[in-house]
Amino acid sequence: MIKTNWHTHTKRCGHAIGEDEDYVKAAIEGGLKTLGFSDHAAYKTQVPTERMNISQVGEYMASIRSLKEKYKDQIDIYLGMEVECYQSEWDTLSQFRKELDYCILGQHNIDLDLISSYGLNTPQQLSMYVDRLEYACKHALCDYIAHPDVCLYSYPYMDESVRKIAERIAKISITYDMPLELNTGSGVHNGMHSYPDGKRYAYPTRIFFEEFAKKKCPVIIGLDVHNPELFKTDTDLNRALSVVEGLDLNFLTDYDLASSAKKRKELFY
């Protein structure tokens, strides 16, 4: 098991299980030294199966902060969120950015409740997805990009359009010194899917990481845990690593994301 994980959910998002404290205990048991909570950010509309409601944000923050104190001798806990770049929600996002230790960007929709990143199937849609990532980096909204390849979830072919998008994301990563995540969550946990050009995990996707390796983009492993038990096994981690086997990736091991977030937050606008 890795020692540092910045991508952890709680049951508030409606698709994770277990109490907050169960995640802390399991992380300690699994050998983690640094645990970042990054539950799905709340916005003005409610989607109880996707993210917490605005009314739960205060309680979420209080719960994680009290666990940080309670377990401070055993593990370093940080309070974050997995946010999307939605310009319509900028006031809410700027509040989160100010209050939280860090933010990771998981662009699950192109716009709030519109065009799921899990359903993209044209180069134009991929390009809109990357536009959001670019805007988020330019405005220092996030400290790393979670599952940058989630946009390929439904994409039918691993063709040149995919490589072009990967090149663009790699360029953004280098321009803004923005780490990209190798995600070991549901993309591998749920097994391989069949696509018109063969079987693969929904994400991570090798063609993306080939481009990330070429440009030496910083890469951080994120467990994207929605079940505390998954801190105790390396099965999904090994699946994700098998996707990028043989690539010369610039892994940031035990990276202090909270410190880099402190500096980035100053640049947010």
Residues that bind Zn ion (CB under 5 A): 106
Which is nearer to Zn ion, 36 or 106 (by Cβ)?
106
| In the complex, least distance from residue 134 CB atom to Zn ion, rounded to whole angstroms | 18
Instruction: Name the residue whose CB lies closest to Zn ion.
Output: 106
Please choose, from the candidates 86, 87, 91, 76, the residue with its C-alpha nearest in 3D space to the C-alpha of residue 40: 86
Which is nearer to Zn ion, 51 or 97 (by Cβ)?
51
| In the complex, least distance from residue 16 CB atom to Zn ion, rounded to whole angstroms | 6
Local structure of 251: helix, strand or coil: strand
Torsion angle (degrees, nearest 10) of CA 20, 52, 176, 248: 50
**220 Cβ neighbours under 8 A, 6+ residues apart:** 6, 144, 179, 180, 181, 182, 251, 252, 255, 257
Residue holding tokens 């994120």?
222
Which is nearer to Zn ion, 113 or 164 (by Cβ)?
113
| In the complex, least distance from residue 255 CB atom to Zn ion, rounded to whole angstroms | 19
| In the complex, least distance from residue 24 CB atom to Zn ion, rounded to whole angstroms | 18
Contact 97, 268 (CB under 8 A): yes
Which is nearer to Zn ion, 74 or 227 (by Cβ)?
227
CB atoms within 10 A of CB 193: 12
Which is nearer to Zn ion, 72 or 80 (by Cβ)?
80
